[in-house]
Amino acid sequence: MGYWVDLDHPYITFTNEYIETLWWCLKELYKKGLLYKSVSIQPYSPAAGTGLSSHELNQPGTYRNVKDTSAVAMFKAVSNKNSKFVFDALDDEKAEIFFLAWTTTPWTLPSNLGLTVGPNIDYVLVKTFNPYTHLPVNVVLAKALLNKYFKPEGEGAFEGFNADHKLLPWKVLAEFKGKELEDLEYEQLLPYKANSIGAIQEVTPDAKPFRVLLGDFVTTEDGTGIVHTAPAFGADDFRVGKKYNIGILTLVDREGKFVDGLGEFSGRFIKDYRSEDNYVDVNVDISVKLKKENRAFKVEKYEHSYPHCWRTDKPVVYYPLDAWFIKTTALRDRMVELNKTIRWKPESTGTGRFGNWLENMVDWNLSRSRYWGTPLPIWRTEDGKEEKCIGSIEELNEEIRKANKVLGGDVNTHYLHDGILDLHKPYVDDVVLVSEKGKPMRREPDLIDVWFDSGAMPYAQ
């Protein structure tokens, strides 16, 4: 196989002509309603103040074994007509029931909005005692994980139990499938002003948080078989949270510290991002608080592999960032159909790896928080209600002159004579456009994915 290469006129992705082609492509997608803004849960480095690409996250040495404080939190179930079948299994009608959920990131617990179970996983209701407060409790967890928390010799050994006994007595009272627990309600674990129902519904007006949800990502490999779900800090959490409309709370700022309104935890860093000599781990303090309040069933150090920023050597978090997407899912069925007409060699490539990728395609997260690259050609008003997508240099120069006439003053005065000469940052960010209602519009600060750069090559000028 051979191919021709025109070395006299190569395609160079940083030229204005090439960028203009990409803008034209994006405007065609925009006109078809295939370009939109949403939230994406992305790897983010609070120490560096930037999101990380999958390539950066997979560099050698990025993942390291660390020992973190893990906690099995206890979420108190609400007794009502939906949960009656669970409460009916209790020995004592006044007793309380708690859902057990494990996390290696206790700092995410104030942002909890749901608990996710596997629909076909077997769960049990267990009568026992809290190992820290020694109060009688009834807990729900996956049947397959009973032996992680209870010893066989403790089964039924309730007689004479007191705080000095190390062996926890236990007894299974009932068994359920995960799907039977769907929509059961529970009380908020760590209520504060910043995560009140009013604060939640201020962001998501019709949100219905603090419910049991169903998710296909739940396993019984570790933990409790119940996943503490904080939509702001995990891709799976975000997807299932959106499906069930439980809302989203981002209670950690971009520096990696808690926002105000979280009581004793306000303003504290979730990790040691400043290399402070006297840093006190907030995850330990949260876990201690839960132990004292009869809301922790097990707290221990847990060794696991965790991603770190290659620039700062500090821990990465998964964080909700504004992003622009291409709605590739709108064309998925057509692409799957066309893929079947291709004569792949070997055939397994088209029907296997590539075919599976097409069938499980998600919308393309196009935007990137970088400085050097192709700028996203979208300008928006401050309130986000009006926007424009620019498809050519000529169109941009027309809009530059129009904005100067309408808005007056020094708006775009540097670009009135010759027009814009460089489409890169910082020049393109100086440009102010005007909306149909006469409001100033600023460019969305992101760049586009370099794979869109290269993928658009067949169209490029």
Give pLDDT tens digits for 66-122. 999 999 999 999 999 999 999 999 988 889 999 999 999 999 999 999 999 999 999
Q: What is the mean pLDDT of residues 20-47?
A: 94
Contact 55/310 with Cβ under 8 angstroms?
A: no
Q: Give the chain's mean pLDDT.
A: 94
Q: For residue range 406-444, what is the model confidence (pLDDT) as tens digits?
A: 999 999 999 988 889 999 999 999 999 999 999 999 999
CATH of 64-307, one of 3.50.50.60, 3.30.465.10, 3.40.50.620, 3.90.740.10: 3.90.740.10
Would the pTM count as exceeding 0.85?
Answer: no
d(CA 286, CA 271): 13
Q: Record the tokens describing residue 33, joined without a space.
A: 């309603």
Lowest mean pLDDT segment, chosen from 50-54, 84-88, 362-366: 50-54
Question: What is the pLDDT confidence band of residue 341, given thresholds at 50, 70 and 90?
Answer: very high
Above 80 in pLDDT, residue 248? yes
What residue type is 92 in one-letter code? D
Note the pLDDT of residue 97.
Answer: 98
Chain centre distance of CA 372: 25
**Overall average pLDDT of the 381-403 stretch:** 96
Angstrom distance (rounded) from CA 46 to CA 173: 45
Tell me the per-residue pLDDT of 136-188, one tens digit each, with 9 for 90 and over. Answer: 999 999 999 999 999 999 999 998 888 888 899 999 999 999 999 999 999 99
Q: Which amino acid is at 252?
A: V
Ordered by start, the domain boundaries in the chain are 1-32+374-461, 64-307, 328-362
Mean pLDDT of 51-63: 84
The answer for residues whose C-beta is within 8 angstroms of residue 113's C-beta and 6 or more apart is 200, 207, 209, 210, 229, 230, 231, 241, 246, 247, 248, 249
Residue 68's pLDDT is what?
Answer: 96
Other CB atoms within a 10 A radius of the CB of residue 320 amount to 19
Tokens of 326: 């291409």
Q: What is the DSSP letter of 422?
A: -
Whether the pLDDT of residue 1 is over 70: the answer is no
Q: How confident is the model at residue 390 (pLDDT cuts 50, 70, 90)?
A: very high
Residue that is written with structure tokens 């969305």 in the block: 444
What residue type is 425 in one-letter code? K
The encoded tokens of residue 99 equal 């859902």
Pairwise CA distance, residues 252 & 256, whole Å: 6
Q: What size, in residues, is the chain?
A: 461
- Among residues 50, 65, 52, 48, which one has the least CA distance to residue 312? 48
Instruction: Answer with the residue of higher pLDDT: 227 or 40.
Output: 227
Q: Apex CA 240: angle with CA 208 and CA 261, to 5°?
A: 50
In this prediction, residue 185 carries a pLDDT of 98
Asked if pLDDT for residue 365 goes beyond 70, the answer is: yes
* Measured distance CA(376)–CA(20) in Å, rounded: 11
What letter represents residue 311's amino acid? Answer: R
Each residue's pLDDT tens digit, 398-416:
999 999 999 999 999 999 8
Asked if residue 52 has pLDDT above 90, the reply is no
- Tokens 């709108």 identify what position? 330
pLDDT higher than 90, residue 21: yes
CA–CA distance, 72 with 126 (Å, rounded to integer):
15
Confidence of residue 51 (pLDDT cuts 50, 70, 90): confident
pLDDT band at 350 (very low <50, low <70, confident <90, very high): confident
Q: How many Cα atoms within 13 Å fall on the side-chain side of residue 54?
A: 5
Secondary structure tally for the chain: helices H, strands E: 13, 19
**339-353: average pLDDT:** 89
- Residue 195: pLDDT over 80: yes
